[in-house]
Structure formats: C-alpha cells, structure tokens
Amino acid sequence: MENRERDGYVLTDDPSRVDVDLVHHWLSEESYWAAGRSHELVSRSVSGSLPYAVLAGEQQVAFARVVTDGATFAWICDVFVDKQHRGQGLGTWLVDSIVEDLTGRGILRFLLATKDAHEVYRRSGFAPLEGPDRFMEIDHRPTRNAILGRS
C-alpha cells in the first residue's frame, strides 16, 4: 500500500514506521484486551503481522495489525488510536484502508473483535458474526474476563 494522506495525517504499512515502544504502552497500559502484555510479546506480534500506523508528522498516533494467510482470511486486531487524536475518524480511516488494501490483494474474509466499538466497525462494513456456533476457541489469556465484560 502506498502511503495515504488525510488532514495532516499519513497512514502507512511500512513496518519501520511503527513505534513498538509506543504500541506496547498503548496495548499494555491503555487497552482492556492486552493489559499487561509484555514488550517482547508485542514486538513479536508486530513482526509476525502486517502492521499499519497513522502518523502526525513523525509521531505515531494510531496502530492496527493484521494476522493473515495472505490469500483467504485476515484478522484485524490491536486497533488503537491515541486519546488526543480520537473523534477525528482515524480508526474508521485506518480500518477502511486495511480492508481496501487487503481486498485488493484478493482477501475476501475479515474478522475482528470488539467489546465497545461496534458502531465504528459497522461504518466499515462489519456485521455480527454469522453462525457463531461454528467457531470454537481455546483462550488462556489473562485478560479474557475483561474482554468479555466479566468481572
């Protein structure tokens, strides 16, 4: 994907532009789904995925990564917009751009999970999972209860 520009922001899929230290802070300190995630784990997850970053100048202000086989399926995860830059449509722009980029590569099925941003993702074309009874999981994450909204 070529860099995209909008209202002074630049969206890129260049892994060298991702500030892993900042992403670690956001995920481990400010997100409910990755609270306490180690720096090493964040670093490995970024390097094993397709990362996308939104920049204001040289400062990263948003992040998402995609886990994909590169052919049939993509899971968009760890979507995060810095608090100071929320409310400007950056999350929607980021997700829309990811879907457009990967659809252009032939990927036709996307999945993501959210506890509280359903309306944001509906604007990008996402809908509740059809046939959720077909999916099974093993989930040993320590944040599982927080993710599911349980205490």
Q: What mean pLDDT comes out for the span 125-144? A: 89
At 79 the pLDDT is 97
Looking at domain 4-128, which CATH architecture does it have?
3-Layer(aba) Sandwich (3.40)
Q: Which of 23-27, 55-59, 139-143 is predicted least confidently?
A: 139-143
Per-residue pLDDT tens over the stretch 59-94? 999 999 999 999 999 999 999 999 999 999 999 999
| Residue/partner pairs of 70-74 with CB below 8 Å, 24 or more apart | 70/105, 70/107, 71/106, 71/107, 72/107, 72/108, 72/109, 73/107, 73/109, 73/110, 73/111, 74/98, 74/102, 74/107, 74/109, 74/110, 74/111
- Asked whether 5 and 40 are in contact (CB, 8 A), the reply is no
- Buried b or exposed e, range 71-102, using 16+ CB within 10 angstroms: eeebebbbbbbbeeeeeeebbbbbbebbbebb
Sign of the dihedral defined by the CA atoms of residues 129, 131, 133, 134, in that order: negative
At 139 the pLDDT is 85
Per-residue pLDDT tens over the stretch 91-114? 999 999 999 999 999 999 999 999
Q: What mean pLDDT comes out for the span 42-66? A: 97
Any residues with CB less than 8 A from the CB of 96 and at least 6 apart, and which?
Answer: 124
pTM: 0.91
H/E stretch holding 10 reads strand 9-12
CA 64 – CA 78 distance, rounded (Å): 5
